[in-house]
Chains A and B, each alone.
Chain A
Amino acid sequence: MEESGVTYGWIGKPRGGKEMSSMNLNLGSGKFLAALAALVFVATACGSTGSGTPTASKGTLTVAGFNFPESSILAEIYGQALAHDGYTISYKLLLGTREVVAPALESGQIDLYPGYAATDLEFYNKGAGEANGDPVATTAKLNSHLQPLGLTALTPSSAVDQNAFAVTTATQKKYNLTKLSDLAPIGGQLTLGAGPECPTRPFCQPGLKTTYGINFKAFKPLDTDGPLTRAAFKNGSIDVGLVFSSDGDLNSLGLVVLQDDKHLENADNVVPVMRQAAASAEVTRVLNAIDAKLTTADLVTMNSQVSGEHQDADAVALAWLQQHNYWS
């Protein structure tokens, strides 16, 4: 059989019978073991790219990002600013949904991720519904849940990116839609598309049901505001889809965001969520300074550059930092 490398005539005996009688096999197997050891050694030596920490480093931090480009951009902005300030930064970008990233933070595998105040609050309080439209109050409530876990959220930015629900212009015209309330009577004819975490997120499917009374015909698990969702709009397999309010490409895709008239979505301001042990005064100062300057318009611009023009998140982040003379 091909799997063992010896071709057996299946009627008859193994073919290689004749040659298997050499007695000076010790040399052969010894050479083989040595060669194998060398191969493994070389491979692992090549793999250990752990660069020596410069003696002036203030510490090591691991920055993570969620599985959508905006999170990579924010993580890069935070990380590069801290690196410029003397910290050694390693990145775990496109790590996954909050359900994957948050446990990693709690267990200390990562030190920091760029969070969104209201969604993070509703994640850590298990959907208790405490978030409101005030970023400061929301963040304070978030911290009350984070402190017991050894975590902390810093000062929120004015930059906001919250869930938004969009339809194609064709759907909008067909049902004459302007706001989410308009979906309530026709929910049973529509399919919702979003990331697989949507059915368990308060600001997603459950929220649409309780706040707006929308019961969708079906839910299609796709991705978190990514190419799968856009492709599903394009081929008509979903009618309503989750997008982000800071997306830059919605117009060019023929998508219209429905107004959140009952304020399901709340203060999803960008805020660094990190381990208390890593949140030294210095780190806090650096990150708060960034958040003070970050705006929603910046997010929209940077998102188009990465998603639309395929610029690198780290290059876009660097450009933002330099543009804001952050380092002078």
Chain B
Amino acid sequence: MTVLSNVAKWFADPAHWRGSDGIPQRLVEHVQISAESVAIGALIALPIGIALGHYGRFGNLAINISNVGRALPSFGLLVIAFQVFGLGNLPVLVALVALAIPPMVTNSYVGLREVDPDIKEAARGMGYRELAQLVRVELPLAVPLVMAGIRTSAVQVVATATLAALIAGGGFGRYIIDGFAQQDYTKLVAGAVLVAALAMATELSLSGVERLLVPRGIRLLQARVAQRATTFKTA
């Protein structure tokens, strides 16, 4: 198909690997804004989700916040952020952090709730105080679900960061938006391929991180690991 061969030629062209509109530059922009958003989102969401899960409070809110997160229209959020903060990375960051928080809250809450109460009681019986129990017993057991939440957020943020180009942002979304505006379909497809590849790479690498973090004993116990965490799509 000519479309595919044109796209292959586009990738083979060295001019597309240099300069401020080159693939490396756009990759750095995209990864940077995505990573920052997920990191800040995690800083906010994980403590909340873990605390709620540990104390067993506000369960309904914690679970349904995921649904609220899915309901947020990313296009609308980005434009509102632009009108509040102006141009630059800040509006994109704010919008993406808002989208990154819900899955992490829900998954960490559920992860903490799922810890077998017998284990918690045993820990208490062994003399663990509250914080130690949380950190050394509950959290390691909850890691798979917490990581699934982070993974879901990360993949979704990577995909949604493409819309940042609508408010003059960078990243791979530029190829898609500029390609559409210029009716340069080769560029557009190349951009889509790059985003999809980055999203899949994000998921794979975070699965790898999860494999490293989950204590071996827990992995052996698990009947079924968390499935591919792509049920969030906001862009």
Contact = CB atoms under 8 A, between A and B. Distances in A.
Q: In the complex they form, do A and B come into direct contact, defined as C-beta atoms under 8 angstroms apart?
A: yes
Interface of A: 1-3, 7-13, 96-97, 99-100, 103, 195-197, 199-200, 218, 220-223, 227-228, 231-232, 234-235, 237
A99 B227 CA distance: 42
Given A3-B227, A99-B181, A195-B181, 8 more contacts: A2-B110, A7-B110, A96-B181, A197-B182, A221-B177, A222-B168, A228-B167, A237-B88
Given A2-B63, A228-B87, A234-B86, A11 B180 contact: no
Interface residues on B, range: 20 to 34
Given A2-B110, A7-B110, A232 B168 contact: yes
A235 B116 contact: no
B221 A11 contact: yes
A196 B107 CA distance: 39
Contacts of A12: 223
A9 B20 CA distance: 49
Contacts of B165: 221
A228 B66 contact: no
Contact of A103 (B168, B183, B231): B183
A7 B109 CA distance: 12
A200 to B, nearest CB: 5
B168 A228 contact: yes
Nearest to B106: A2
Contact of A10 (B174, B183, B223): B223
Contacts of A234: 86
B36 interface: no
Contact of A235 (B88, B110, B224, B226): B88
14 contacts: A1-B226, A3-B231, A7-B110, A9-B116, A10-B114, A11-B116, A12-B223, A196-B182, A199-B182, A227-B82, A228-B82, A228-B87, A232-B87, A234-B86
A199 B174 CA distance: 14
Contacts of A11: 114, 116, 221-223
A223 B178 CA distance: 11
B182 A2 contact: no
B171 interface: no
Contacts of B116: 9, 11
B46 interface: no
Contact of A221 (B87, B168, B221, B223): B168
B53 interface: no
Contacts of B41: none
Contacts of A195: 181
B145 interface: yes
B148 interface: yes
Given A8-B224, A196-B177, A200-B182, A231 B106 contact: no
A96 B183 CA distance: 11
A281 B63 CA distance: 63
B70 to A, nearest CB: 11
Contacts of A9: 114, 116
Contacts of B167: 228
A143 to B, nearest CB: 22
Nearest to A7: B110
A231 B144 CA distance: 44
Contact of B144 (A7, A10, A235): A10
Interface in B72-108: 82-83, 86-88, 106-107
Contact of B227 (A1, A220, A232): A1
A240 B160 CA distance: 30
Contact of B66 (A2, A220, A231): A2
Contacts of A231: 82, 86-87, 168
B221 A99 contact: no
Contacts of B223: 10-13
Contacts of A197: 181-182
Contacts of B183: 99-100, 103
B22 to A, nearest CB: 13
By CB atoms of chain B within 10 A, which of A3, A10, A223 has the most? A10
A232 B221 CA distance: 56
Contact of B222 (A10, A222, A223): A10
A221 B144 contact: no
